[in-house]
Amino acid sequence: MPRCSSLRARARGLLAPCLRPSQAQRGHHAQSHRLLLLLTLALLTGCATRPVAPTAPAGRDGGPASPPAELHKVPDAEPRVEPIRNGGPNKPYEVAGERYEPITTDAPYAERGLASWYGNKFHGRPTSSGEVYNMYAMTAAHATLPIPSYARVRNPANGREVIVRINDRGPFHKGRIIDLSYTAALKLGLLHGVAPVEVRRLTYAEIRAGAWQKPANEPPPVFVPDAPPGSPQRETTATATAATTGSGYWLQFGAFGRLDAAEALRERVAQADLGLLPLLTIVREAGLNRLRAGPFPNADEARAQADKLRTENGLESSLVEPRR
């Protein structure tokens, strides 16, 4: 290493007078020599230390490369009464010139707006509450809701609802009101991107009364997850046994009491699948409006399309077999 050899030679020259000082120098230049010695040692240490590579810039956020199976079965956060403390994550703060004043009382709160989600980029990092972010947990970030607190989040496009624990601050993008964990977004069918949601805080009274366990207004839509690959497909009341027209295999995305909810999901599925599905239709069967896509010539092709929609768009579906 020529550069370090040169520095060592310079160091020996600099150290020589320090090692063999005269009597006059001892009294007059002792402090200067000590500083010079420290400087020389720093130069030598720099040669012996491997340079640290600069940290790579952070890329775009995303989900896990290999997400755990059956994340849609992860239970919602279970609300409990947790004290709200002043200060800490609940003190006023400012981001990008905008001031935020978190709520510090047990007050009702409801709003509509856009939801986004955050995943692998922040997984394992501390949140505003001091807890470590876990993208597989049912949590969320909100700009002003108390930390900690609990909220019910509803996706009006498909009727799905989840309960999350607020333990972080954000999102700080215009129009967005909540940042969901990866799993919460998956359960709501929001992995495709930003989408409208309804957020309502659960008050202490509701938590104590167990009101959060009751369905809000109407019963939730029926969603049947796909069976594991290779396992037999069973006919159930929720999936029915056939589509309305023709033969072949169909995918069912949901069953709704209200027609407008089924139509809203049909529009979203149509956008998500990029026109790859042969047909999207709403079937009225057993008192429910069932959104189905098909027909597919065989079960393997239908399952392949279902896997694509699940991994890329967070859309769950079930296989509907033809009548025998």
Residues 6+ apart with CB under 8 A from 99: 92, 93
Are 87 and 206 in a shared domain?
A: yes
> Which two tokens mark 42?
């720093």
Number of structural domains in the chain: 3
End-to-end CA distance of the chain: 80
What's the pLDDT at 297? 83
Whether 156 maps to a domain, the answer reads yes
Are 202 and 249 in a shared domain?
A: no
Give this prediction's pTM. 0.52
Could you give the dihedral angle defined by the CA atoms of residues 299, 277, 285 and 303, in that order, rounded to the nearest 10 degrees? 30
Mean of per-residue pLDDT scores for the chain: 73
| Each residue's pLDDT tens digit, 126-140 | 999 999 999 999 999
* Over residues 244-268, mean pLDDT: 76
CA distance 296 to 302: 6
What's the pLDDT at 43? 40
Respond yes or no on whether the N-terminal peptide bond of residue 148 is cis (omega within 30° of 0).
yes
Whether 66 maps to a domain, the answer reads no
Are 32 and 143 in a shared domain?
A: no
CA distance 25 to 39: 19
Are 39 and 75 in a shared domain?
A: no
* Over residues 78-92, mean pLDDT: 93
Q: Give the domain-ending residue among 213, 231, 246.
A: 213
CA distance 200 to 108: 8
Are 92 and 204 in a shared domain?
A: yes
Structural domain range at position 253:
221-324
Are 10 and 83 in a shared domain?
A: no
Domain containing residue 86: CATH number: 2.40.40.10
CA distance 26 to 32: 10
Weakest-pLDDT range from 21-30, 99-108, 117-126, 299-308:
21-30
| Residue 237 pLDDT exceeds 70 | no
Helix (H, G, I), strand (E, B) or coil at 174: coil
Whether 63 maps to a domain, the answer reads no
Largest CA distance in the chain: 110
Higher pLDDT, 106 or 272: 106
